[in-house]
Amino acid sequence: MELHTYGQCTTLGHDMLIVPHEFTERRLACDSRYRSIIGQLDAMIALVREKPGVDLTRALDRLQEVMMEHIGSENSYMELVGFPQTTRHRLHHQFLCGNTAELARRYGKGLEVLPGELADIRLLWLEHIHVHDRAFEAYLAA
């Protein structure tokens, strides 16, 4: 796997998962659900760039399924272990889902999905991983 260092973060190969340096070794085996979410977004971005107007119905449905599965599991686990920032974390999950659902809704109405819109959702996920999930990891490690 190819590693690239940028500032205080490291990216993992083509997946471009951003990992703070202090977690690089531990996070080399990143959660497959995150890789799936980021990977699906990367694939859709590439597809829309290569073939504007391509049918994204199945890809958007699958992305939402994977997101809901991941979020449901994580929300349950945070509740189970008594994570003190559960409410804040869950609200950010709702924000991510809302943005993705809005994009899918607009697409369903015949509006074009632009690569930049998908890249924005990807960036929101990377921020979520870096900020919210990192805090949850720290809590579990303590």
**Domains defined for the chain, CATH in brackets:** 1-30 (no CATH), 31-141 (1.20.120.50)
Rounded Cα–Cα distance for residues 18 and 129 (Å): 8
Q: What is the pLDDT of residues 38-82, one digit of tens each?
A: 999 999 999 999 998 899 999 999 999 999 998 999 999 999 999
pLDDT at 121: 95
Q: Is 121 within 8 Å of 99 (Cβ atoms)?
A: yes
Rounded Cα–Cα distance for residues 100 and 132 (Å): 18
Rounded Cα–Cα distance for residues 139 and 35 (Å): 22
For the chain, give the mean pLDDT: 81
Residue 105 pLDDT grade (very low, low, confident, very high; cuts 50, 70, 90): very high
